[in-house]
Amino acid sequence: MYNNINELSKDYLLYTISFSVGIFIITYVLNIPTLVSGQKNIIDEYYLQNFVTNIPMDYIFVLVYFLIAYIIIYLFNIENFYIKTLLVGLTTAFLTFSFTYYFINKPLTNNIYSRWFHSVKYNSITYDTILITFIYIVYSYLINKLN
């Protein structure tokens, strides 16, 4: 897949830029998590008070979501941008649904993810799908511009 370290470095950098743009616009400028969930306190705690720990975790989570979507895209040899984008969205919705279901069917604990999912419930699917699909679109745009 990668012929040299430059290609891997380029992908890493483009992902980092796309993630940063997505988090900034969707989360901080448009405030989609609060608009979708109405849970301002947990959103502020997650994205403002605990920024230093939670943004790096989100960076990894989004990357894992991307990788799972890319496995599906690769297995089905999908080339069409719109189908790829749809698969990223559907993969995100399914994974977030699974995490939400898991956490809300467990007792509430002090863990941030337990409190997050108990607070925002299935609204997290909408937010994650918007965020990760947007990040994917930015990433694809940058890849196309640079190739």
- Name the DSSP class of 110: S
**Of 56, 58, 55, nearest to 66 (Cα)?**
58
If pLDDT is split at 50, 70 and 90, which confidence band does 2 have? low
What is Dmax (Cα atoms) for the chain? 49
Label residue 1 by pLDDT band (50, 70, 90).
low
Q: What is the pLDDT of residues 94-139, one digit of tens each?
A: 999 999 999 999 999 998 889 999 999 999 999 999 999 999 999 9
57: amino acid identity, one letter: M
